[in-house]
Amino acid sequence: MASQAAHYDAIVIGSGQGGTPLARALAGAGRRTALIEREHVGGTCVNEGCSPTKTMVASARVAYLVRRGADYGVRTGGVSVDMATVRERKRRIVDRFRAGDERGLERTEHLELIRGEARFSGPHTLEVTPAGQGGGAAGRALSADQIFINTGARPARPRLPGLDAVPALDSTSVMELDAVPRHLLVLGGGYIGIEFGQMFRRFGAQVTIVQSGRQLLEREDPDIAAAVEGILREDGIEILLGAEAQRVDRGADDAIRLTVRDGGGERALTGSHLLVAAGRTPNTDRLNFAAAGIEADARGFIRVNDRLETNVPGVYCLGDAKGGPAFTHVSYDDFRVVQANVLNGGGRTIADRLVPYCVFMDPELGRVGLSETEARAKGRPVRVFTMPMKSVARAIEMDETRGLMKAVVDSATQQILGCAVLGVMGGEVMTVVEIAMMGRLPFTALRDATIAHPAVSEALNNLFDQ
């Protein structure tokens, strides 16, 4: 390590969806900025998250629609899936997005992109070593008045006996398969397990989802979770609820044997592949943040206030590394909060912001605001509006009638507290409701709005006219 640290006005650690635009904004304001990236520009979203998964979801939907061709009067032959081609299409799109981000960074004045791994050596000093070479490699010493952490998160590895002895997949490696699994065991019934489970079922795999909780998507209302479960079962996916994984080992012919315990005792599941979808853990364990005096929780998520400031003055944290909802749009909004405060002298915070999200199963689930369960737990006086998608004209015309719409309204103020839309274009319809919530419109505004017929969003007229 050099004795004299190179000084910058700002250093950003991690080029995710918060770090990349922040580095460009800081440099664009004339601040000498370093952006440190140990693996690949673009973060999880571009490389292992949103872009590749939704690309593969689109391929799976085509396979699904082709199989349903006769329902629409379209005759087709047999359907087969070439996973190598699906993978190559995914890789091309990822490469395109990543290259675009890299070009934008390289063209930004006052910005230096440094390839390597950063470790704190003090509150405002870092040592950067070449990625993958560990702490013993020679590094560069850097310092800055302000440091912004955007290191993201990675798939969690549960403590399951035998897991290290089998070739288990995670949400990154499962996308590199070049053949359809014969039988995919999915450990976890959250949005990652559901998206990949349905995807590979549509590619032709037998799929079993093992969920320790009493329902899929544990944060959703029971009726929404039940509807999701019904759709997946209709698609031919086996779902085990209340099933605790006990151990995993190799069976005959290199099969993977997962032993689970449920109300009926222990049982062994046998599959060709195992996908572990058991949450995510922050990429902070090698930051050596203790050397800077930065506080974190027991899981390694860095503590911040509503302005995204850590307990160390001048050090901030954005995105997944701080905990909370791990979504790209949250990370990007974190960037906007920091930009407003650091560069524009604002007083913006993350307090009370609406956090929408989508589960990109098919049909997709779009959700924003409070669920019915959450609203009642808060003691809010609520009215609940529900409507099945089979009552939506456009859904009928598209022969996509699975799912339902649900909205929760404060009966005293008529304000919409939240909604869940499980159905065709569910994320788009949810966004309409979110915008109404942002504008603090009463639910009657959507009830009485003139919405183009037969858009799916037109169903909001009927949803709220009950």
Residue numbers annotated as active site: 453
One-character DSSP codes across 145-183: EEEEE---EEE-----TTGGGS--B-TTGGGG-SS--SE
Residue 442 DSSP SS3: strand
Which amino acid does the sequence have at 313?
P
Burial of 439 (0-12, 13-18, 19+ CB in 10 A): exposed
Query: What are the tokens at 143?
Result: 């310092």
Neighbours of 451 (CB within 10 A): 14
- State the residue for tokens 């364990």: 285
One-character DSSP codes across 275-314: EE---EEETTTTS-GGGGT--B-TTSPBP--TT-B-SSTT
Identify any residues that bridge with 382 across adjacent strands, giving them in sequence order: 410
Helix (H) or strand (E) holding 7: strand 6-13
- State the residue for tokens 């956090």: 355
Identify any residues that bridge with 368 across adjacent strands, giving them in sequence order: 419
Question: ∠ at Cα 285 (279, 286), nearest 5°?
Answer: 135
DSSP designation for 5: P
Sheet holding 256-262, edge to edge: 244-250, 256-262, 265-271
Taking the C-alpha atoms of residue 172 and residue 154, their distance in angstroms, rounded to an integer, is 9
